[in-house]
Each structure stands twice: as structure tokens, then as C-alpha cells.
Chain A
């Protein structure tokens, strides 16, 4: 088994399950399982509890930010700047966009020649922290990177002595300095297992200019290949172990694969366990707005939407696209964005990276059927998609 491993696999291929099973194999050494979203952290916990009734004492499950704060930032914070001897870092502020905005007297962000201004590293406190000492989420891994340099690697040494095994799920959510941090973890004695899918970059731990051009949008594989060569063995990057979808049926696999033609097409698993042959209403459907209520009643799908501004039927459960990552449902109903509709009609139409990823996530949530709300006309004819009509119900 390679010391540093990256497993890349499509949605529904059982990445999290694989990671949990790997962790449960080891009952002696301490293992950290971390992931970016709280939802996925909860999902990992649930998976472990389902198998073992409780989280074994050698396993710690925590979110990426909580891990970074506890083991990256705080243990040696004083080494980076003297003000941190006497001040506690209270927590983290999730920053949308670049943090540490420089404000003018009017309270609005200062601009010079149209460029927004930010506090630089020379203003240590303002660069990294809010006035009440919360660290900006987009600066955490940079802080750790610099503090690690200052202490000659004490932070990583400590982490690797606590956790001989570090597993990171949904690694495609990491960005910028996170990559540098992973690289430095590769250099420690710990065994590192990264699992992810570059098709599902729905969040990023932080908006970052670092590595954005080259390795942005979840291209951790490329980063590792280019920057960590000496730390890898031949089988470090694994794109074959998890190839088949244990979640989606053939129609859903085929349809969702169209979003990422550059990747190998996902195939459904055909084992006995994954068979669901005699269930009605399988595949991809389009549903007109006026039929939504009827559809919901009939099939009880989970509703997926862009964000809370999209109105859904309150009688049925609803998740935002990003939030639904990692979830499995029998059936879903997607409230698409305009761009998604355009793509539906013409697969060559433009789709932003983030939108494409969210659409991919939404399309790959269901085991049996995925319906998309779209007021189609009789002339619409989309390959692989069935029109939901009242007559179909009867």
C-alpha cells in the first residue's frame, strides 16, 4: 500500500464507504477522518455508527476547518507572531471572497484605480484576523503553512505523531494553500489517504488565487503529479479501484457522464446487491411546473435546488445542490437553473465549472429516478430523457 494515496472516483462509487472501511480495518492506531462539509462529516459518522454502533476510540472524525484550527493553528500560534502569545484565536470567520478588505472612511471597500484593496501580510492581525480574533477561513492554511516554516515543521511533526493515518474525504473541495499543507503532510510519517472527485467541486474551502490557474477547480491530481513526485509511488494515484456506481442505474450513469465527456464514463455496478430491476419509473425525466405537485405525490422524490431562493414544495424534503453532496436518495426532483436547462437542450452550451459540478451532483443523487422541472413543449426531444405526462401516471 502506498504511503500517500489519492483515489479518484465518480459519484456513487462508494468513496466514503471505502474510506470508512479502510479506517475500520485498523483498530490499533489513531486515525483522523476529515472532510470539508459538516454534512459529509455527519455522513461519515453515520456510516461508522451503522457498522460499529459507535465511533471506535482510535478514530476521530472532524471537519477540515476544525482540524486545522485545533492541530494546525493553535498549538504553535505564538511562533508566528508575538501578539498571539496573549490573544486567543476565538474561532473562524467563513469568508466569501477574499478576506481582510480595506475599508475607506465611508465604510465601503477602498479601491485604487478600480482595484479593491486588502490588508497585506505586513499588517499581521488585520491580514489574518477579524477584530475579535477570529481567523479568516481563507487564511487558515496559509497561516499554518507559515507557522510550520517558523517552527521548522513542529506542527506537522505533532500531527503525524497524533495521527499515523490521515484520511481526507471530498478532497476536491480543498484549494490554494490547502494543497501546500497536503504536500507537507505527504512528507511526514503519516499515511495519507485522499479521496475525491474533481467533477464535484461544489464548494471550495476558500477562494484562492494561489494555484487557481493551474490547479484550480479540484485539479489536485495534477498538483500532486507536478509537485509531489518524489513523495509518490507508482500506485499512489488510483483511478480504478472505485470505478462503478453503486448508487445510480444505467440511465442515470449515462446521462450524468455527459457532463464530463473528458472522464471515462461511469458504469453501474451489476452485482446482486446493486440490482433494482423490478422497480417502476427508472431513469431521467422532465416534469412541467403544473405537474410538479402530482409528481411529488406519486413518487415522493427529494427536491434539489440551487439555493433557498428557489421555491419548492414545503411538504417534501428539500436540499440545496451543494448540501446534497454525499447523499443517496431513491428519487430526486431537480429545480434547474437557466444554464442547466440550456445545457439540457444543447450539451455544448456554456456551463460554469461550479454550476456544472452542482448539476452533476444533483443528477447523481438518485438510485432510481431523477426528474428535472422543465416546461417542455411537444417539439422538445432530449436524448435519454422521458417526458412525464399525466397519462404516464395513469
Chain B
């Protein structure tokens, strides 16, 4: 099966400098924050294989907005210094698997190695060198895109076209509202890819006949005679007819119907399912079909989504699929082993993790993993009461806002901190650990997390006071000046529970209960220092 092995992206949209991603032969699930570049990867691959961006040929629509913002800034800034940078270029390289395509083999790629694939470049056209030299003497504010060209080649440095590239990609993007014109570009593309040459000829012939029938229809002829009788429109004969001039006219003139409803009138979610299933059902095995699915969870109810994911799973054999998703359900159902985590232009695959960690995450419902990936910062806590207290402490410090509203996720991970930290380290995700000292700070905290202490993205927070081993005594100790108020909040008798020890032991027996009471209360309480430190870290 023809498939994509790797993609290199340079200076395109969110990618500053060179980004490289190795893909599985079958299913790939891209997960990451909103700005991580998931969609950009899909767009880039599709662009390099089809020349299309947002359904239009990029050749006619070059703009400086394609470039990475910082790259553009650096370039513009450098022009004012005595070390001006050359005009930046965008590069997308798609490497193919297998040995069946010698025509695409060569070392014309930025890895400077033998490979098989295509390279798509938006670069300065040296023909305009002299114009450019004049231009940079003036105050340049944007990349001079009018002097740019597209260079689209195989790794053998031979020009390619979308027809000559054997891997056909379909990008299915249900979020888009860009394609509202009569016929749907995707659907005709998918259908066209599946048709034999002869069938294509037949369909356009049939379409032609239909139009000719229109032309020779008596009523149309009568109208044309009438039009011509008023001869002063033009010296030439004027007739009403249909345009038969383009050979692929059927693609724009014909519309697909579902239960007699035109395709573009059915729901977005249903459209997405139909398109995907069509692409999956595409039987031309010679032409590999690459399916790029952007956030399929949009516009789909949970039942539909379930159905949809099942259909992908059942039919994806022999097809390469790249899905971007925010949805933990999608990712989990399709198999975490296919997960590719994106974060700050770094890529982590589950297969890169220690095998025991891999196993651990395979067993997890998947949701937790994704929470870690998708948040801006994460606070890992041991159990439910820790979770509630940390959240409440955050709200106290931030005018009642929940941490999640700021993209900060508080995740209860039981005793599996280190598994999460391993992923966090791989993707440079800011993560704080709020943990008990279990009366042995040195062993339970210092030593246990020794490989993470120096990580700039990871903060380990625990109290050093050995006599307060867990959250409960810590919390009571923090409020030792106002024990009565504390009792009031957690609704116990302050005359009976009048020492730190008594209150702590009550709380230990009623873990979630007291924490919920604190969480729901309007009274301001004190929080242990090691928690306050983490809140401070959140806001830093």
C-alpha cells in the first residue's frame, strides 16, 4: 500500500523553523492544543499532494499570511539591521513509503538523503532579484509575496502536478463553511478518484447529451428564434444554450443527493460521515487514498460519533488516515497506540514512552491522558479531596474563577504521578505535582521525583513538615488560628473538635465530605503553603 512515511514542514503557519513528523501506515491521531498545529499538518500534507489549500489552488492565492508570524517578524526586523536575512521560504516535504515509485526518488529534499516523495516550496523567485534589491531599500513591512513562486517537485527534482502524484488525499473538514457552492468539491473529487477512465468519459458524455437535448428541445429552439428575431442584440447569432466547453463540466454541474436531498443541504455532521465513508470505500487500490479528517467530533451527536468511529475502525484497513481531534472519546476508541501528541512543535508518540508507561496508559480509559495533553498547565493531585481543595485555593486567588477556565486542569491521578510526568517531560508541558510527604519528605518526595526536580516545566510541591503527613492535618494546621471557623465550614461541633489532631482525624475519616463543604463554602479559609505555592506557580 502506498502511504506517507514522513512530513517535513518549515515556516508554514504555526511552524517556526523545521518540523518533522513520522506517520504510521494506517491510523494516526493528532492530539494537541488549539495552536499546536494539528490542522496545519493536515493542510500542509494536502497542499503538497494536491496543490490545494482550502479547496483552491494556492498558485493563484499566495499570501504572506501563509508564513509563520515570527519568521516574518524576524525577517522584517533583520532588514533594518546590517545583517539582513534572505526572504524566507515555506517548505513542505512529503515522504512516501515503499519502493514502487522510482520516479519520485532522489535526494532533492531538505534531509539531503535518498528518499521518495514530493517537495512543495513557496520561495522567492530569483527572476525578481533586481526589483527586490530596490524594494528592500524602502521600508518593507511584509514579506514581498508578489516576488514569490511555487516550486513543486519530486525528490528527483522533476516538476510534478496533482495528477502525477500517485497518492491522492481527501481532506474532510466538517467545521468548514467555506464550500457552499452547488457541488461539493470533496465529494466530486472522491467520486472522480474512484472512477475508471472509461466511466469518467461515460459520465461526461451523458452529461453532454443531457445538455444537447436541452439545446434541441422545441421550446428552447422557439425561444432562440424569438431572440434572434429581435436581431439588434448583436451582429452575430444569439442563442440560449448550456456551456459544453469544459470537459469536466459534470463535476461542477452535477450534485450528489442523499434521499433526494442535495448534498449541501444535509447536516454538516452527516456530510462528514458520508464523505468519510465514501473515501474509505474508495476501491482504487493502485492509487493510494490518504484520508485527512479534521475534528470529526464537530457537528456529531454522541451516537453518530460512536457510529462514525466504529465505521472508521472497521474500514480503515489498507488506507492511511490522519485524524486531528480534541475529543478524548475519538482518540480512545481508535486506539491510543496511534496517538501523536503535539505540543510546542514537539511530537510525542505513545510508542516513545517506557513500555511500562505505555502499558499503563493503554489500560487507562484514555481520558486522563488527553486531559494532560490538551490543557495549558496541569496540576496533578492524589485524590478527590486534594482536587477540590486545590481548585478552591485557585478560585480564592483568582476571583472565583475555576482553574479549567484558564486552561489549567487539576487531575486526580492516585499514585501514578510519575507516569504522567514522563509524558509531560516529553512534551514540555508545565505540570505541578501536589503531594503528601507521608512523614518522610526526603524519601517520598525528594528521592521519588529526583529525575524531575531539574525540569523547568515541572514543579513538585509538598510540605517538609513531617508531623503533618497528609492534606488533612496540613489543612487544619494552616487554619490553626481559626479552628472554630473551620469547624463551622465543615459543619462539625467546634466544642467537641477543638484540637488540630481531633479535627484532622475526623477529616481523614470523611475525606470527600469535608473537602466538598470547603469547596462550596463562601468563607475564606487558609491554605497550606505547598498548595499556595502551586497556585502562585499557576499564575506566574
A202 / chain B contacts, CB cutoff of 8 Å: none
CB distance from B98 to the nearest CB of A (A): 12
Given contacts A85-B112, A154-B114, contact A77 B157 (CB under 8 A): yes
B103 / chain A contacts, CB cutoff of 8 Å: 162
A162-B108 Cα distance, complex, nearest whole Å: 18
**B interface secondary structure, majority:** loop
- Tell whether, in the assembled complex, residue B157 and residue A74 are in contact, meaning their CB atoms are under 8 Å apart: yes
B105 / chain A contacts, CB cutoff of 8 Å: 75, 158
**B133-176 with Cβ < 8 A to chain A:** 155-158
A74-B107 Cα distance, complex, nearest whole Å: 9
**0 or 1 for each of A150-171: is its CB under 8 Å from B? (1 = yes):** 0100100011011000000000
CB distance from B273 to the nearest CB of A (A): 36
B108 / chain A contacts, CB cutoff of 8 Å: 74-75, 77-78
**0 or 1 for each of B100-117: is its CB under 8 Å from A? (1 = yes):** 001101111000101000
A75 / chain B contacts, CB cutoff of 8 Å: 105-108, 155-158
- Tell whether, in the assembled complex, residue A158 and residue B157 are in contact, meaning their CB atoms are under 8 Å apart: no
CB distance from B374 to the nearest CB of A (A): 39
Does chain B have a CB within 8 A of A79? yes
CB distance from B212 to the nearest CB of A (A): 26
A162-B106 Cα distance, complex, nearest whole Å: 13
Q: Which of A70, A71, A76, A154 has the most CB of B within 10 A?
A: A76
Does chain B have a CB within 8 A of A29? no
A201-B222 Cα distance, complex, nearest whole Å: 69
A85 / chain B contacts, CB cutoff of 8 Å: 112
- Tell whether, in the assembled complex, residue A74 and residue B156 are in contact, meaning their CB atoms are under 8 Å apart: yes
CB distance from A294 to the nearest CB of B (A): 51
- Tell whether, in the assembled complex, residue B102 and residue A78 are in contact, meaning their CB atoms are under 8 Å apart: no
**A41-88 with Cβ < 8 A to chain B:** 70-71, 74-79, 85, 88
A74 / chain B contacts, CB cutoff of 8 Å: 106, 108, 156-158
B102 / chain A contacts, CB cutoff of 8 Å: 158-159, 161-162
- Tell whether, in the assembled complex, residue B156 and residue A78 are in contact, meaning their CB atoms are under 8 Å apart: no
A88 / chain B contacts, CB cutoff of 8 Å: 157
A163-B73 Cα distance, complex, nearest whole Å: 48
Closest residue on chain B to residue A89 by CB atoms: B157
A70-B153 Cα distance, complex, nearest whole Å: 12
A70-B156 Cα distance, complex, nearest whole Å: 8
A151-B156 Cα distance, complex, nearest whole Å: 14
A74-B103 Cα distance, complex, nearest whole Å: 12
B155 / chain A contacts, CB cutoff of 8 Å: 75
**B372-416 with Cβ < 8 A to chain A:** none
- Tell whether, in the assembled complex, residue B158 and residue A76 are in contact, meaning their CB atoms are under 8 Å apart: no
A282-B107 Cα distance, complex, nearest whole Å: 59
Which of A71, A76, A161 meets B107, CB within 8 Å? Answer: A76
A161 / chain B contacts, CB cutoff of 8 Å: 99, 102
A78 / chain B contacts, CB cutoff of 8 Å: 107-108, 112
A158 / chain B contacts, CB cutoff of 8 Å: 102, 105-106, 156
A151-B106 Cα distance, complex, nearest whole Å: 11
**0 or 1 for each of A337-349: is its CB under 8 Å from B? (1 = yes):** 0000000000000
A75-B114 Cα distance, complex, nearest whole Å: 9
A79-B114 Cα distance, complex, nearest whole Å: 10
CB distance from B2 to the nearest CB of A (A): 15
Closest residue on chain A to residue B102 by CB atoms: A161
- Tell whether, in the assembled complex, residue B107 and residue A79 are in contact, meaning their CB atoms are under 8 Å apart: yes
CB distance from B529 to the nearest CB of A (A): 57
CB distance from A131 to the nearest CB of B (A): 13
A77-B105 Cα distance, complex, nearest whole Å: 12
B156 / chain A contacts, CB cutoff of 8 Å: 70-71, 74-75, 158
CB distance from A79 to the nearest CB of B (A): 6
Closest residue on chain A to residue B156 by CB atoms: A75
Q: Which of B99, B114, B157, B158 has the most CB of A within 10 A?
A: B157
A158-B106 Cα distance, complex, nearest whole Å: 9
A48-B499 Cα distance, complex, nearest whole Å: 103
Closest residue on chain B to residue A160 by CB atoms: B102
Closest residue on chain A to residue B100 by CB atoms: A161
A151 / chain B contacts, CB cutoff of 8 Å: 114
A162-B105 Cα distance, complex, nearest whole Å: 10
A77-B108 Cα distance, complex, nearest whole Å: 8
A154 / chain B contacts, CB cutoff of 8 Å: 114
Closest residue on chain A to residue B103 by CB atoms: A162
A159-B102 Cα distance, complex, nearest whole Å: 8
- Tell whether, in the assembled complex, residue A70 and residue B107 are in contact, meaning their CB atoms are under 8 Å apart: no
**B2-54 with Cβ < 8 A to chain A:** none
A88-B108 Cα distance, complex, nearest whole Å: 10
Closest residue on chain B to residue A85 by CB atoms: B112
The chain A residues found within 8 Å of chain B, CB to CB, are 70-71, 74-79, 85, 88-89, 151, 154, 158-159, 161-162
- List, sorted by A's number, 19 A–B pairs whose CB atoms are closer than 8 Å: A74-B156, A74-B157, A75-B106, A75-B158, A76-B106, A76-B107, A76-B114, A77-B107, A77-B108, A78-B107, A85-B112, A151-B114, A154-B114, A158-B102, A158-B156, A159-B102, A161-B99, A162-B102, A162-B103
Known: A76-B106, A78-B112. 14 other contacts (CB 8 A): A70-B156, A74-B106, A74-B108, A74-B157, A75-B106, A76-B114, A78-B107, A85-B112, A151-B114, A154-B114, A158-B102, A158-B106, A158-B156, A161-B99
Closest CB pairs A-B (n = 3):
A75-B106, A75-B156, A161-B102
